[in-house]
A = this chain, B = another copy of it.
Amino acid sequence: MDLTDLRAAFAGRLLVDADAMSPFLTDWRRKWTGRAVAVAQPDDAAGVAAVLRWCRSQGVAVVPQGGNTGLSGGATPAAQGHSLVLSTTRLQRIRALDPVGQTITVEAGVTLQQVQDAARDAGRLFPLSLAAQGSCTIGGNLATNAGGVQVLRYGNARDLCLGLEVATAEGELWSGLRALRKDNSGYALRELFIGSEGTLGVITAAVLKLFPLPAAQHVALVAVPSPAAALALLALAQQRLGAELTAFELISEACLALVERHVEAARRPLAEASPWYVLVELSSARGEAAATQGFEALLEAALEAGHASDAALSSSLAQFRSLWALREDISESQGAEGPTIKHDIALPITRIPDFIEQTEAAIARHFPGLRLVVFGHLGDGNLHYNLSPPRSGLSAAEFLALEPPVNRLVHDAVDAAGGSISAEHGLGVLRRDEAARYKPAVEQRLMQALKQALDPLNLMNPGKLLGQRDLNHHHASET
């Protein structure tokens, strides 16, 4: 393919060499690998638009990519090799920071960590927080509507975004970089591009919300007898702490045991094991004394009401970090045990106890021996509902062959409970057809109509997000 015009069309790098392209063609977990005509890395938003114009003129499909840390294969090109990877990592400028107005304007390639750091340097908090923050880009966070551990208080990426700049499929630049808390002057274009996984346009910059840094933060590991007790504790915490409750994470005993086995420094601060735990974080504008006092009163009330059987409250930054590490190290510890089957599901919060009980029983019945590794953002109704193979008796291949029927069991249960099969990881290719299976036909037609309207040539990340529906599948909500 003649790339002369493309090379001349924008400032930045154009990679065509196989070695140079290689890091952009495989996702970080090495689950998907594709091929590409080239990898374009423009230096600025105008360059992104120019690349899109070239692609349109040549009929070349575009795969937008940020930090390439996604979990659903949304940023990996297809195997055919006819598409171009458009990497936004060189869009590196922080364009503005307004501490009083509490906004920051950044280009798509700035990493989440860099946004957090810039905010902190100005005495402000950018609360989006997730494991990949050192490498993931804010453009990718917005394109996938990333979540993380502070969603309970501050919302997901969508809720933290005030304005967007987007290069459209036509190769035009839409400047919607409004630093406004309110704007009712037309359709919610910003919202539509957020979470569209690069299938409608490419986000090149964004205005994000900042918050005051909390004056004090504490975290507690609380042993709870059951998910139902965890839910009762959540309600109590919301009532007593209001918006000072900034995280509420559910952890099963199996998770904690895995972390202790694989992370040397990990030490649970509670004497006795409990079937479930929650990690509760409080962030207060009121200072240390008020924070500690509020937290202690909550824990006392929880113990008294029987929602909790024991609790350990952090009293130093080191303890704060080591308690959080017990939660953050679950994924890696599970990985150390062999292959995993994962689900990123959302449920109406009050249905979680029944879901956990019934789904565990169903898995034990249909897939005896599989080990459940269940944790997640209980305050958001978001569970990482994972499985590991039995300690012996099943090869990795045999275990992974169970993935489709296990997915079916779990996702059917999620659908029956009014949940979503993708809470925060997006659809990409991993959950594209699965989502189509469960979504009402009307919703899929509406989504297809929007795709057709904004990307009539189907050049924006084709094959991602929008799945083909199995028309023989009879959807429950349409009976």
Query: Residues on A close to B: CB < 8 A?
Result: 98-103, 144-145, 147, 151-153, 156, 158-159, 168, 172-176, 178-189, 191-192, 194-196, 200, 211-212, 214, 231, 234-235, 238-244, 283-286, 290, 294, 346-350, 377, 379-382, 418-427, 431, 435, 439-440, 442-443, 445-447, 449-454, 465-466, 477
Given contacts A180-B348, A348-B179, A348-B180, whether A443 and B382 have CB atoms under 8 Å apart is: no
Which residues of B sit under 8 angstroms from A452, Cβ to Cβ? 453
B176 touches A443 (CB 8 A): yes
Whole-angstrom distance between the Cβ of A283 and the nearest chain B Cβ: 8
Closest Cβ–Cβ distance, residue A185 to chain B (whole Å):
4
Write 21 A-B pairs (CB below 8 A) sorted by A numbering: A99-B235, A100-B350, A147-B184, A152-B181, A159-B159, A168-B446, A175-B440, A175-B442, A180-B381, A182-B380, A182-B424, A184-B424, A185-B431, A186-B435, A186-B447, A186-B465, A186-B466, A188-B188, A188-B192, A188-B196, A242-B284
Q: Which 5 A-B pairs have the closest CB atoms?
A: A243-B243, A242-B285, A191-B191, A453-B453, A101-B350
Does the CB pair A187–B183 fall under 8 Å?
no
Known: A183-B422, A184-B427; 10 extra A-B contacts, CB below 8 A, are: A147-B182, A168-B446, A186-B443, A186-B447, A187-B447, A187-B465, A189-B447, A189-B450, A212-B239, A450-B453
Closest chain-B Cβ to A166's Cβ sits at a distance in Å of 9
Report the copy number of this chain in the oligomer: 2
> For residue A239, which residue of chain B has the nearest CB?
B212
Distance (whole angstroms) from the CB of A438 to the closest CB of chain B: 8
- Cα separation A60 to B184 with both chains bound (whole Å): 27
Using A188-B158, A212-B238, A446-B454 as known contacts, say yes or no to A423 and B182 having CB atoms under 8 A apart: yes
**Given that A243-B243, A348-B98, A348-B101 are contacting pairs, would A184 and B446 also be in contact in the complex, using a CB cutoff of 8 Å?**
no
Please tell me if the beta carbons of B427 and A186 are within 8 angstroms of each other in the complex.
yes
Across the two chains, which residue of chain B brings its CB closest to A183?
B420
Contact between A423 and B183 (Cβ–Cβ < 8 Å)? yes
> Would you give the shortest CB distance from A203 to chain B, in whole angstroms?
14
Given A100-B235, A238-B102, A349-B100 in contact, is the A188-B184 Cβ separation under 8 Å? no
- For the complex, give the distance between the alpha carbons of A346 and B450 in Å: 29
Closest to A199 in B: B187
> A449 to B152, alpha carbons, bound, how many Å?
35
Query: Which residue on chain B has the smallest CB distance to residue A162?
Result: B348
Smallest beta-carbon distance A449→chain B, Å:
4
User: Closest residue to A242 on the B side, CB-wise?
Assistant: B285
A233 to chain B, nearest CB (A): 11
Contact between chains at A185 and B244 (CB < 8 Å):
no
Partner of A454, one of B153, B377, B449: B449
Q: How far is B377's CA from A184's CA once the two chains are assembled, in angstroms?
A: 15
Find out whether the CB atom of A182 lies under 8 angstroms from the CB atom of B151. yes
- The reply to whether B180 and A446 form a contact with Cβ atoms under 8 Å apart is no
**Does the CB pair B442–A174 fall under 8 Å?**
yes
Contact of A418 among B153, B178, B426, B466 (CB under 8 A): B178
Chain B nearest CB from A42 CB (Å) reads 18
A45 CB → nearest B CB, Å? 13
- In the bound assembly, the distance between CA atoms of A418 and B238 in angstroms comes to 37
Of chain B, the residue at the smallest CB distance from A427 is B185
Instruction: Give the residues in chain B near A380, CB-CB below 8 Å.
Output: 181-182
A346 B183 Cβ-Cβ under 8 A: yes
CA distance A450 to B151 in the complex (A): 30
Given contacts A101-B350, A454-B446, contact A423 B179 (CB under 8 A): no
Cα distance A156–B426 in the bound complex, in angstroms: 25
What's the Cα separation between A422 and B465 when bound, in Å?
33
Are A442 and B168 neighbours in the complex by a CB distance under 8 Å? Answer: yes
Which listed residue (B99, B182, B379, B423) contacts A346, Cβ 8 A? B182
| A194 and B189 form a contact (CB under 8 A) | no
The interface residues of chain B lying within 8 Å CB-to-CB of A439 are 185-186
Residues of B contacting A101 with CB < 8 Å? 348-350, 381
* With known contacts A172-B442, A443-B176, A349–B181 Cβ distance under 8 A: yes
